[in-house]
Amino acid sequence: MAQRSRLHVPHPPARPGDKPDFRYVQISPAGAVPRPEITTPAREMERLAIEMVRVLDEQHTAVGPWHPHLEPEDLQVGLRHMLLNRVFDDRMQRMQRQGKISFYMKSTGEEAVSVAQAMALQPGDMFFPSYRNQGLQIVRGRNLVDLMCQCLSNTRDMCKGRQMPIMYHWGRGNIFSISGNLGTQFPQAVGWAMAAAHKGEDHIAASWIGEGASAEADFHHAMTFAEVYRAPVILNLVNNQWAISTFQGFAGGEHRSFAARALGYGMPGIRVDGNDFLAVHAVTQWAAERARKGGGPTLIELVTYRAAAHSTSDDPARYRPRDEWKSWPLGDPIERLREHLIALGEWSQERHAALEKELEAHVAACWKEAMSYGTLTDGPKLDPATMFDDVYAKIPPHLERQRAQLQAMGEARSSDGSGDREDLQRETRFAAKEG
Amino acid sequence: MNMVQALNSAMDIMLDRDPRVVIMGEDVGFFGGVFRCTDGLQRKYGEQRVLDTPVAEGGIVAAAIGMGVNGLKPVAEIQFADYIYPAFDQVVSELARLRYRTAGEFSSAVTIRSPCGGGIRGGQTHSQSPEGIFTHVCGIKVVMPSNPYDAKGLLISSIEDDDPVVFFEPKRIYNGPFDGDPNKPAVPWSSHPKGEVPDGYYTEPIGKAVVTRPGSDVTVLAYGTMVHVAEAAVRLAGVDAEIIDVRTLAPLDVDTLCTSVCKTGRCVVVHEATRFSGYGAELVATVQEECFWHLEAPIQRVTGWDTPYPHAFEWEYFPGPQRIAAALQAAMQGASVGEPR
């Protein structure tokens, strides 16, 4: 022990140029972690928060008590969704590089989180996503054109040009709006679940937060309210190791798993191999059943790796080894499910290649359609006057006036190219006194 | 009724009329609130509808937002306006903008009630008037009543409103009107006409200011406790002032305010909150824009000093009747500055 206090500044095990080192990731063998009954008290299953639930072993076989025994058709659907997620991400990233959209965030390497979890939940369950959960939209059947139009801020943009790309929402699909503030959705999901319980409904809520944003007070609020009121909610902490440039040690992950935080609140915490489709599906189903039967919330830590940059504005080669992804000990979720299906005799490399081609063509066709509704720079445009809608349920007088002012400027521009003609000066409503 | 009883009555009526209404906050349930505003409501409506919460304002507002998204109408109490800051992100970035950012697909009609203002020996953490911080945020409405009658009618309107409302309650006048002189005996609401509050349902509109004292010499724009202090100041100054209770700070009833100023040609803006970038600056700017050619004198502002609320010097801090009376006289004389800069 040192003689006096010094700031401990966490360091990731490898920086650019170093050999990737993931020895810090504690991994349990597939099938090794017991599966408790959903009625088990939280304090009797603390191991779940420390060890790692895994189903797929090194031979791509599903083993152990968490094996969800899904039909091969379901696994094929899951594989298709994950692959579509990745193909979609790749396309959108390229479109950002070509200047068609201003920004994008891929979920490469984390596809099993959203896809397996959404598939394990029911359509009436409400999702409060973070910004790397596009798989939730895909599982619920969202037309990709809608997502693309949002990224393009075009005439079919669900957000009417008010949000930067990827801040989707889908009322009919029970997917809440994504907030750029990070973490705010976590306690809101708890509130939604409290209302479901208040009304005696069967639906549950699920929310996602990154391990980085779990340092926000919103995480603590969510955990406290969820456990105090035993809200029917699944709180998912996606530990993808990196919050932009800070590794998970800066969120307090150096000495204890994030799942173990649940224990202090008195709720079950489950640490799961986030790249194991079957394990993710199984723990989600367990937590959902527990919540639906009045057992309250569960914190699930999904251990995964952010294989791509944080966003199109980020260059991870500046802060971590360029090829770190290749050394990630939990592999690639798509490859692992593909190999499992091949081992089951329910898939082949040829079918996989054909599927990939089909999905690429589908995404390309969607993109073509989306572009026909306009882009930030070309084609049909949203009316800027709509920016005054939806600030309030009904437009108040001061916004009516501002809108009229904007419209008058637009008319002036289109008539003579000037926006500040004298007759457009704003009139006051109380004319000058005479004399 | 006093203001506490009027607010209680508003919530009682709304709990009864609308099964979606849920009351939540610190100490609001079993105990009935530290100011007693929710007294008896949990006994009457049960603990599923009148909910004690953890001491976490950010969590209260966030949970209320989620409940609102799921079809409830939460009325959340923040025990003191001074405690609202942990919830600031949830109010500003989430509650206020949810409808906008989802193009109307999601919204959450939360009402946030919070006692504000000083004059109760609360020091800097139980006396603040942060209304200007919230009126600056588009997407929420901000209300502050000055009497029991308005408090009940405006709270019912706020709960019924489809937009989120931050409803500030000037706690110094919970039990009676206050003219700014702490040495005078307390006056109960029963002696004031606005203490006459019907038992049943009624509303007062959001977005409408009221003239509380008609006059012709000068217009005073005030709200909350300061409406009563302004009345005392007008008596002290001996001018025929028209006092307007702004009541709903956002959206602002520009017509009522400016019609009066255009009539009197003079204006004094009063609030208890600090001055710099305060809500009064918006009132002054609006009056200047709308009434410039009618003005006979510079517009005066009387506010709390730009310091935290000092415990021991409460009455030196509080913008009392003398300061307002001086501003009224300056306005009458056309003096350029009624308050030291």
Structure confidence by residue, pLDDT tens digits, B97-155 = 999 999 999 999 999 999 999 999 999 999 999 999 999 999 999 999 999 999 999 99
Distance from CA of A169 to the nearest CA of B (A): 7
Closest C-alpha among B137, B136, B25 to residue B90: B137
Residue B219 lies in a domain: yes
Which of chain B's residues have a Cβ under 8 Å away from the Cβ of A432? 293-294
Residues across chain B: 341
Check whether residue B117 and residue B174 sit in a common domain.
yes
Kindly determine whether residue A205 and residue B66, on different chains, have CB atoms separated by under 8 Å. Answer: yes
Closest C-alpha among A33, A95, A5 to residue A370: A95
Q: How many CB pairs under 8 A join A and B?
A: 161
Which of chain B's residues have a Cβ under 8 Å away from the Cβ of A194? 63, 66-67
- B219 neighbors B260 (Cβ within 8 angstroms): yes
Check whether residue B216 and residue B241 sit in a common domain.
yes
Q: In what order do the strands lie in the sheet with B210-213?
A: B210-213, B241-245, B218-222, B267-274, B300-304
Check whether residue B179 and residue B223 sit in a common domain.
no
Check whether residue B149 and residue B38 sit in a common domain.
yes
Q: In what order do the strands lie in the sheet with A233-239?
A: A126-128, A205-210, A233-239, A298-303, A269-273
Q: Whole-angstrom Cα distance, residue A125 to residue A120?
A: 10
Q: What is the pLDDT of residue A256?
A: 94
Pairing, β A242-243 against β A246-247: antiparallel
Check whether residue B288 and residue B243 sit in a common domain.
yes
Check whether residue B40 and residue B154 sit in a common domain.
yes
Q: Is B252 on the interface with A (CB under 8 A)?
A: yes
Q: Quote the radius of gyration of chain B (alpha carbons, Å).
A: 19
**DSSP string over B239-268:** --EEEEE--EEES--HHHHHHHHHHHS-EE
Kindly determine whether residue B66 and residue A162, on different chains, have CB atoms separated by under 8 Å. Answer: no
Q: What is the pLDDT of residue A415?
A: 67
Q: Which of A169, A189, A394 sits opposite B106 (nearest CB)?
A: A169
Residue B338 lies in a domain: no
Q: What is the pLDDT of residue B335?
A: 80
Three-state SS at B54: coil
Residue B260 lies in a domain: yes
Last residue of a domain, one of B140, B172, B195: B195
Minimal-distance CA residue of chain A relative to B293: A432
- Rounded to 5 degrees, φ, ψ at A53 are -70, 125
User: Which residue ranges of chain A lie beneath pLDDT 50?
Assistant: 417-426, 435
Q: What is the pLDDT of residue A424?
A: 43
Token readout for B165 is: 């409302």
Pairing, β B267-274 against β B111-116: unpaired
| Domains of chain A: residue spans and CATH | 42-312+323-372 (3.40.50.970), 384-424 (no CATH)
Residue B203 lies in a domain: no
Distance from CA of B138 to the nearest CA of A (A): 7
Last residue of a domain, one of B195, B221, B245: B195
B168-192: per-residue pLDDT in tens? Answer: 999 999 999 999 999 999 999 999 9
**CATH number of B324's domain:** 3.40.50.920
Question: What is the number of helices (H) and of strands (E) in chain B?
Answer: 12, 12
CA distances from residue A20 to A162, A238, A252, A327, A336 in whole angstroms, order as listed: 40, 21, 21, 7, 21
Residue B341 lies in a domain: no
**CATH number of B111's domain:** 3.40.50.970
Q: Whole-angstrom Cα distance, residue B203 to residue B107?
A: 23
Minimal-distance CA residue of chain B relative to A156: B103
- Which chain A residues in 151-190 lie under 8 Å from chain B, judged by CB atoms? 158-160, 162-163, 167, 169-171, 176-177, 179, 181, 184, 186-190
- B248 neighbors B206 (Cβ within 8 angstroms): yes
Mutate to test the interface with B, among A166, A430, A433 (most CBs of B within 10 A): A430
Check whether residue B233 and residue B176 sit in a common domain.
no
- A126 neighbors A197 (Cβ within 8 angstroms): no
**DSSP string over B159-202:** HH-SS-EEEEEEGGGSSS---S-TTSPP--GGGSGGG---SS--
Q: Is A80 on the interface with B (CB under 8 A)?
A: no
Residue with tokens 């002012």: A405
Kindly determine whether residue B86 and residue A217, on different chains, have CB atoms separated by under 8 Å. Answer: yes
The conformation of residue A175, written as its DSSP 8-state character, comes to B
Q: Whole-angstrom Cα distance, residue A234 to residue A83?
A: 25
Q: How many domains does chain B have?
A: 2
Q: Is A363 on the interface with B (CB under 8 A)?
A: no
Token readout for A39 is: 């009625």
Q: What is the pLDDT of residue A429?
A: 59
Kindly determine whether residue B71 and residue A195, on different chains, have CB atoms separated by under 8 Å. Answer: yes
Check whether residue B26 and residue B144 sit in a common domain.
yes
> What ipTM did this prediction achieve?
0.96
Check whether residue B219 and residue B177 sit in a common domain.
no
- First-to-final CA distance of chain B: 41
Q: Which of B70, B89, B258 sits opposite A196 (nearest CB)?
A: B70
Provide, rounded to the nearest whole percent, the portion of chain B with pLDDT above 90: 98
Q: Which of A167, A225, A391 sits opposite B138 (nearest CB)?
A: A391
Check whether residue B164 and residue B305 sit in a common domain.
no
Mutate to test the interface with A, among B93, B98, B105, B166 (most CBs of A within 10 A): B105
- Catalytic (active-site) positions of B: 126
Triad B239, B237, B316: Cα angle to 5°:
145
Last residue of a domain, one of B169, B195, B221: B195
- The arithmetic mean of pLDDT across residues B66-90, rounded, is 98
- Which chain A residues in 193-252 lie under 8 Å from chain B, judged by CB atoms? 193-196, 198-199, 205, 217-218, 220-222, 224-225, 228
Distance from CA of B306 to the nearest CA of A (A): 29
Kindly determine whether residue A191 and residue B63, on different chains, have CB atoms separated by under 8 Å. Answer: yes
Residue B168 lies in a domain: yes
Check whether residue B47 and residue B130 sit in a common domain.
yes
Closest C-alpha among B100, B86, B85 to residue B164: B100
Three-state SS at A393: coil
Residue B201 lies in a domain: no
- A182 neighbors A216 (Cβ within 8 angstroms): yes
Q: What is the pLDDT of residue A377?
A: 83
| CA count, 13 A, side-chain hemisphere, A151 | 29
Check whether residue B171 and residue B215 sit in a common domain.
no
Kindly give, in sequence order, each residue whose CB lies less than 8 Å from that of residue A417, ignoring residues fewer than 6 positions away: none
Distance from CA of B314 to the nearest CA of A (A): 34
Which of chain A's residues have a Cβ under 8 Å away from the Cβ of B100? 162, 390-391
Q: Whole-angstrom Cα distance, residue B172 to residue B80?
A: 12
Q: Whole-angstrom Cα distance, residue A300 to residue A346?
A: 30
Q: Whole-angstrom Cα distance, residue A395 to residue B267?
A: 29
Residue B204 lies in a domain: no
- A108 neighbors A163 (Cβ within 8 angstroms): no
Q: What is the pLDDT of residue A419?
A: 44
| Amino acid present at A295 | G
- Which chain B residues in 151-190 lie under 8 Å from chain A, judged by CB atoms? 161-163
CA distances from residue B253 to A166, B108, B209, B245 in whole angstroms, order as listed: 38, 24, 6, 10
Q: What is the pLDDT of residue B339?
A: 56
Domain extent for B54: 3-195
